């Protein structure tokens, strides 16, 4: 299974977002990870639809939208119409999971469910057949630059086993505290889509940093 790197622009310089997107393209990241926070589902507020629309106009890179908002179903069409290629919503949100998956798929967008570090994998198992990807959060959602939570590794292993045993094909994404060291742990547990923000943007050589995560 091919490993993919999704760069979180939460750590980018917002005043130079266009240049930052070019830099990610040049350094061969596979996707751009777009964190949307509403100040209710998590204790932070980021950016939303107009910024996604602007990014979509200047790049063909896959736009991986992570909705940390309490009512994702309400906003599926808006994010899909403004460039999202993948929409991830939280199982802990208020929206009905199947209704939300269907709404995403009706727009021709890939659907994913995210789990906070303390949410057990069993909660999402029944939805896995309908999903393109499951996001196992490796930090509490809300902020970039946090420390990787080691106890999430066994969740990745359990989910990969469930996917294999049931002959399914969903990707497993990880998000939070991913660097050259933690990426090796999550990949050996079965994750194949790696989100990274602060490690990539703080690295002196982004192309090497991308390789360290992917390989």
List active site positions: 35, 175
Binding positions for Zn ion, rule: CB under 5 A: 35, 66, 175
How far is 205 from 215, CA to CA, in rounded Å?
Answer: 16
Q: Which is nearer to Zn ion, 43 or 106 (CB)?
A: 43
User: In the bound complex, what is the minimum distance in angstroms from residue 128's beta carbon to ligand DX5?
Assistant: 21
Q: Of how many residues is the chain composed?
A: 215
Binding positions for ligand DX5, rule: CB under 6 A: 8, 10-11, 33, 35, 66, 139, 141-146, 175-178, 195-199
Quickly count: other Cβ atoms within 10 Å of residue 151's Cβ: 9
Q: Which is nearer to Zn ion, 36 or 170 (CB)?
A: 36
* Spacing of C-alpha 34 from chain mean position: 8
Tell me the Ramachandran region of residue 68: left when phi exceeds 0, alpha when psi lies from -120 to 50, beta otherwise.
Answer: beta
Q: Which is nearer to Zn ion, 37 or 163 (CB)?
A: 37
User: In the bound complex, what is the minimum distance in angstroms from residue 10's beta carbon to ligand DX5?
Assistant: 4
User: In the bound complex, what is the minimum distance in angstroms from residue 164's beta carbon to Zn ion?
Assistant: 25
How far is 123 from 139, CA to CA, in rounded Å?
Answer: 18
Tell me the residue number closest to Zn ion, measured at CB: 66
Compute φ and ψ for 168, nearest 5 degrees: -100, 175
């Amino acid at each position: 299974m091919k490993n993919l790197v999704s760069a979180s622009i939460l750590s980018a310089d917002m005043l130079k977002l266009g240049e930052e997107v070019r830099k990610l393209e040049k350094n061969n990241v596979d996707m751009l990870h777009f964190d949307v926070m509403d100040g209710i589902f998590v204790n932070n507020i980021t950016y939303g639809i107009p910024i996604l629309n602007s990014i979509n106009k200047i790049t063909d890179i896959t736009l991986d939208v992570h909705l940390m908002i309490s009512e994702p179903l309400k906003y599926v069409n808006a994010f899909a119409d403004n460039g999202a290629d993948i929409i991830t919503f939280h199982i802990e949100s208020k929206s009905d999971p199947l209704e939300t998956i269907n709404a995403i798929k009706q727009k021709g967008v890939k659907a994913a469910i995210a789990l906070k570090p303390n949410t057990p994998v069993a909660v999402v198992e029944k939805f896995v057949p309908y999903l393109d990807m499951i996001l196992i959060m490796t930090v509490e959602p809300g902020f970039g630059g946090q420390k990787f939570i080691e106890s999430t590794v066994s969740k990745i292993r359990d989910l990969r086993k469930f996917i294999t045993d049931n002959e399914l094909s969903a990707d497993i994404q990880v998000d939070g505290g991913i660097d050259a060291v933690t990426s090796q742990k999550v990949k050996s547990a079965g994750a194949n889509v790696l989100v990274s923000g602060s490690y990539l943007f703080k690295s002196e050589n982004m192309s090497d940093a991308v390789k360290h995560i992917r390989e």
